[in-house]
Structure 1
Amino acid sequence: MLSIQQLYGGYSRQFPVIKNIDFSVSPGEIVGLIGLNGAGKSTTLKNILGLITPFSGTVSIDGKTLTEDPETFRNQLAYIPETPLFYEELTLWEHLELTASAYRMPPDLLQERAQSLLTRFRMQKVKNWFPDTFSKGMQQKIMILCAFLVKPRFLIIDEPFVGLDLLATQSLLELLQSGKKEGMGILMSTHILGMAEKYCDRFVLIHEGQMRLKGTLAEMNQQAGTQNKSLDELFMIAIEGKQS
C-alpha cells in the first residue's frame, strides 16, 4: 500500500501549500485526486514522489519511506507529469532505453514492451526522432510510454489527458484499466470529473491545500450529508457549499 499520512508541504514552512493530507492507494485501484487549479494537487504529488521534501508527515510504501530505502521506494513508482520532461539530445527510443536501464530491465523485455507501446500509441515511425520536433501531444506520449514500460507497482499521474488526441486518450484509459486489473495502484490528478467518476474507485477532493472529502462516491455523499450526488455536484458542495 502507498500510504500518505498527515502530510504538510510546499515551498515555505511559514505558508505550507498542503496541510494534513491523509489517504492511501492500494494495489488494483485508481484513486482520483481532484480540486481547483492551485488547490495543491501537484504539490501533493511532488511530495509523494520525493521531488520536494515534506515539512512533516510520512509517505511510505509497505511501511518503508523514501529516506529509509530510496532504491526500493523509487523502483516501485513511475510518474507521468503534466508538462512533458525530456532530454533534447535523446531520441524517443533512447528515452525508452534510458528508462529501462534505470529500472534494470532486461533488453528482451524492453524490446517486447516498447514495441507494443509504440504500436498502441502510433509512435513506431518516429521512435528514432528527437522529441523537440514533436507536438505537445506526442511529447506527452513519451512520458506515458516510459511510465508503462516499467509496469510499476504504483503509478502517479498529473493531468495526463492534456494535449492528447481522442485515440491516445482511449489508449491511455485502456492501459490504466489493464494496469488496475494486474494489481497496479494508480493515483491520478485530473480536472475531467466525468472521466474520473467513470474510471476511479475512490477520490480525494482537496481545496486550498486541505482535504474536504475522500472515499467512494457513497462515502463522500455521507460525509457531505447528501444522497446520490454525482462527483461534479459533490465538488461544488465541497468548494462552495452549494446544494441543488
Structure 2
Amino acid sequence: MVLEINQLTGGYSKEPVIHDISFNIKSGEIIGLIGLNGAGKSTTIKHILGLLRPHAGEIKVMDKTIEADVEAYRRHMGYIPESPILYEELTLREHINMTAMAYGLTPEEVEERKGPLLRRFRLDDKEDTFPSHFSKGMKQKVMLICAFIVEPELYIIDEPFLGLDPLGIESLIELMISERDKNRSILMSTHILATAERYCDRYIIIDQGRKIADGTLPELRELTGLAGGTLDDVYIKLTGGIRHEQ
C-alpha cells in the first residue's frame, strides 16, 4: 500500500474533529476525498502530512510512519495546497531548484523533468519571473510544477482546480492520469464532482468527521440504490442534504 490510515482520530485541540477514519490507497490510483465544508477533509490531509499529531490511530506512507523516520516518510509525498505558497524573492527557476534540493534530485533529473512540465503549463518562458508578476492561476501552476517534478509515490492535492483556467484544468487532469499510468497515486480533495467523476478511480466520502463511504462510482450507486446516478446524486443521497461548496 502507498497510504494506510487505520482508525485515525484527531484534530486541532483536545476535542477531535475526525473520528475512527480508515482507508488505504494502492499504487496507481486516483482517489477523490469528498465532503461538506468542515467535514474533516483538510484535517485528515494535515494528519497525513504530519502537521497534526493524531489522538489515536496510525498513518503509514510506503510502510513508514512519521514517528519512525520523518524524512523518509515525507520524501514519498508531494503536496499541493489549495492556496499557492511561494517566496516572493525567488524566481520560478529558483523555486524549482529549491524543491529539487529538498528532495535530493540531481541537476540532470531537474533538466530532464522540468521542460515537459513548463511546456504543459505554458510557463516555459517564465523561468526567471518572480511571483509578483504571476496571476493566481500561474502561481498555482508553479506549485504543480514543483510537486510533479519530484515524482513521488503519493501526491496529495487540495482543491486542485481553483484558480486554473480550462486549459490548465485539462493539462492537470492529463498529467494526473499520466502519473497514475506510471503506478503513482493521488489523493485529491475537491468539490467539483462532475470533473472528479471523469477520472477518479475511487471516492472516499467524509461527513461530520467520519468516513461514510469508500468505493468506486458503481459501488456507491449500488450502496445508494441510484442506478445510473451521477457522483453528485450519490453524494447528496449519502450526506442526506444539499451539497455545500467549499
For 1:94, the aligned partner's letter is: E
Q: 1:48: how far off?
A: 0.6
For 2:130, the aligned partner's letter is: F
Q: 2 CA distance for matches of 1:120 and 1:85?
A: 21
Identity %: 50
Q: 1 CA distance for matches of 2:153 and 2:23?
A: 17
Q: 1 CA distance for matches of 2:122 and 2:217?
A: 36
Q: 2 CA distance for matches of 1:84 and 1:65?
A: 27
Comparing 224-233 with 54-63, which one deviates more in the overlay?
224-233
1:206 is aligned to 206
| Runs of 5+ unmatched residues, structure 1 | none
2:6 is aligned to 5
Q: Deviations over 1:190-238 (max 9, x none)?
A: 1111111111111001111111111112222333354343211111111
Aligned CA RMSD, in angstroms, stands at 1.4
For 1:215, the aligned partner's letter is: G
1:171 is aligned to 171
Which aligned pairs between 1:56-95 and structure 2 lie closer than 5 A? 56-95=56-95
Q: 1:151: how far off?
A: 0.6
* Structure 1 stretches of 4+ moved >4 Å: none
1:134 is aligned to 134
For 1:103, the aligned partner's letter is: Y
Q: 2 CA distance for matches of 1:132 and 1:43?
A: 30
For 1:86, the aligned partner's letter is: L
Q: 2 CA distance for matches of 1:241 and 1:93?
A: 46
1:125 is aligned to 125
Q: Deviations over 1:55-114 (max 9, x none)?
A: 211110233211112122111100011011111111111000000011111101101211
Q: 1:148: how far off?
A: 0.5
1:236 is aligned to 236
Q: 2 CA distance for matches of 1:111 and 1:62?
A: 27
Q: Deviations over 1:98-144 (max 9, x none)?
A: 00011111101101211221111111222111113211101101110
2:45 is aligned to 45
Q: 1 CA distance for matches of 2:181 and 2:11?
A: 34
Q: Is the 8 A contact 2:62 2:76 kept in 1?
A: no
For 1:157, the aligned partner's letter is: I
For 2:4, the aligned partner's letter is: S
For 2:213, the aligned partner's letter is: L
Please report the TM-score for the alignment, with normalisation by the length of structure 1.
Answer: 0.94
Number of residue pairs aligned between Structure 1 and Structure 2: 241
Please report the TM-score for the alignment, with normalisation by the length of structure 2.
Answer: 0.94
Q: 1 CA distance for matches of 2:56 and 2:180?
A: 30
User: Which secondary structure does the structure 2 equivalent of 1:11 belong to?
Assistant: coil
Q: Deviations over 1:147-181 (max 9, x none)?
A: 10011100000000000011111111110000000
2:97 is aligned to 97
Quick check: 1:108 aligned with 2:108? Answer: yes
